Amino acid sequence: MKKVTQPDYQSYLLRLWRDGESAPWRASLENTSTGEARTFAEIQMMTAFLMDVAGEGPAEGPPTTKPRDGRGTR
């Protein structure tokens, strides 16, 4: 399968989970072209990241995401 590397196309694998019924949802996004993965403690942080990637909003303050190691840990 050919990987698309055009600047106007982004593809991510989304994972959502929570650590209990009352725990907040957490998320990770893995860039399917580069394999880079980022985790987000809150859905709002993921939304802000995606808006920044898409050029739809300014990045606010320091980065709200952190790269995740390639072992699939959460």
Residue 2's Cβ-side half-sphere holds a number of Cα atoms within 13 Å equal to 3
> Is residue 29 in some structural domain?
yes
Number of domains forming the structure of the chain: 1
pTM check: above 0.85: no
35 occurs within a structural domain: yes
Quick: pLDDT tens for 26-72.
Answer: 999 999 999 999 999 999 999 999 999 888 876 554 444 555 554 44
pLDDT for the residue 56: 85
Residue 1 lies in a domain: no
Domain span at residue 21 reads: 12-57
The 10s digit of each residue's pLDDT in 5-34 is 557 889 999 999 999 999 999 999 999 999
Backbone φ and ψ for 16, nearest 5 degrees, come out as: -125, 140
Kindly state whether residue 50 falls inside one of the protein's structural domains: yes
Give a yes or no: residue 36 inside a domain. Answer: yes
Which residue matches tokens 């998320």?
A: 27
Q: What is the pLDDT of residue 7?
A: 72
